[in-house]
Amino acid sequence: MIAYILRRLVSLGFVLLIVSVLVFVLMSLVPGGPFTLADRGYSGAALENLERKYGLDKPVHERYRQYITSALRLDFGYSFAVAGNPPVSELIARIWPVTFQLGLYTILVSFGLGIPLGIIAAYHHNGLIDNFVTFVATAGIAVPNFIIATWLLLIFGFQNGWGEESKWIIGPLTAEGAAILSWDYFLPVLTYALAPLALVSRYTRSSFADVLTADFIRTARSKGLSERFIMLRHVLRNALIPMITVLLPQIPNLLTGSLFIEVVYGVPGLGKFFVTSIFNRDYPMIMGLVLLIALLWGLTYLITDILYTLIDPRIRLGETKGA
């Protein structure tokens, strides 16, 4: 098992290398450069000088070689587009805590509510809670979060005079960085949690419902085992595999932010930053964020696979099956 994990970590390193090549080439193939976009207003000699200053006059392979040699020494370059050209790693370290907290609270809310709701729904098939879960799952996905965000802002913001709109907006970062555990996160988390709540409750329900009709559950019941014991020992273990496959990747997904939530609530976070740096052609920033996200997801996939073998010892990884 440890050999397998080490192999996976080494191959993840190669995956990051391949991703860096692909994204670097992809970036340079998308038309427009950081200084040639129309709204920048540079032309002629000014443009040439800028491109030379940032090394953009060199061919792609040369630029990539430079990038990757410094990236391997953990120097990820300087942002092109952010005022003052701060280092990419410093910029990410400053922005990520806000998004990270938003994601963390969202994970706690959506998993904390979704798993119990899904379990109850599976046990009371077509009952009140079951229908409620179907409703929540539909509403949480079918009503886009920018609509919910806009409505919540209007209601809590000024319609009822419960507070000022700006109260619910996480302001620009202060010198001390992001506020920790502030009420400012309340509305964004409420909005952000709906879609993952839908996913969590729905997958939990269907995974449990699938196991509950199995013959071994009937056997366990007829043996006279307590319902609680059956659930913890028999149902949960068998329901977990499809659940963690889909639900665990929600963690890196939520921790790296959502464009729409961050735009509507004015959160200075990673999700919004990613999209703006793509539109600004802020190459070093895009690369830094892509590598960070690839690392997080790669580790999550590895953890998911390790959990499979812990949950079901029959599962063996890295072996070929005959036939």
Partner 1 sequence: MPPAPASLPVEPPEQLVQRSLLRDALRRFLRNRLAMLGAVLLSILLAVALLADIVAPYGLNEVDFSIVRLRPFIDPNHILGGDGVGRDFLTRLIYGARTSLIVGLLVPTISFLIGVPMGAIAGYRGGIWDFVSLRLIEIATAIPPLLFAMFLISVTGAGLGNVIFVLAITSWIEPARIARAQFLKYRETEFVLAARALGASQRQIITLHILRNAITPLLVSFTFAVPLAIFAEAGLSFLGIGITEPTASWGKMVGGSVKSSTVIVYYHLALFPTLLVALTMLSFSFVGDGLQEALDPARGE
End-to-end CA distance of the chain: 24
DSSP class of residue 49? H
180 makes contact with partner 1 (CB under 8 A):
no
5 makes contact with partner 1 (CB under 8 A):
no
168 makes contact with partner 1 (CB under 8 A):
no
Burial 281-317 (b: 16+ CB within 10 A, else e): bbbbbbbbbbbbbbbbbbebbbebbebbeebeeeeee
Which of 192, 205, 191, 186 lies closest to 137, judged by CA?
Answer: 205
Do the beta carbons of residue 285 and residue 91 sit within 8 Å? Answer: yes
84 makes contact with partner 1 (CB under 8 A):
no
Residues 6+ apart with CB under 8 A from 22: none
> What are the backbone dihedrals phi and psi of residue 275, each rounded to the nearest 5 degrees, phi first?
-65, -45
Q: What is the three-class DSSP state of 87?
A: strand
Q: Binding to partner 1 (CB under 8 A): which residues in 190-209? A: 198-199, 202-203, 206-207, 209
115 makes contact with partner 1 (CB under 8 A):
no
One-letter amino acid at 298 equals G
Among 1, 9, 108, 154, binds partner 1 (CB under 8 A): 154
274 makes contact with partner 1 (CB under 8 A):
yes
Among 6, 11, 55, 124, binds partner 1 (CB under 8 A): 11
DSSP class of residue 266? T
Among 27, 47, 82, 113, binds partner 1 (CB under 8 A): 27
Among 5, 19, 68, 113, binds partner 1 (CB under 8 A): 19
| Residue 287 C-alpha from the chain's centroid | 17
**Candidates 51-59, 88-96, 109-117, 233-241 — which segment interacts with partner 1 by CB under 8 A?**
233-241
Among 1, 6, 22, 93, binds partner 1 (CB under 8 A): 22
Q: Binding to partner 1 (CB under 8 A): which residues in 32-71? A: none
31 makes contact with partner 1 (CB under 8 A):
yes
**Candidates 87-95, 106-114, 180-188, 240-248 — which segment interacts with partner 1 by CB under 8 A?**
240-248
Among 128, 147, 180, 232, binds partner 1 (CB under 8 A): 147
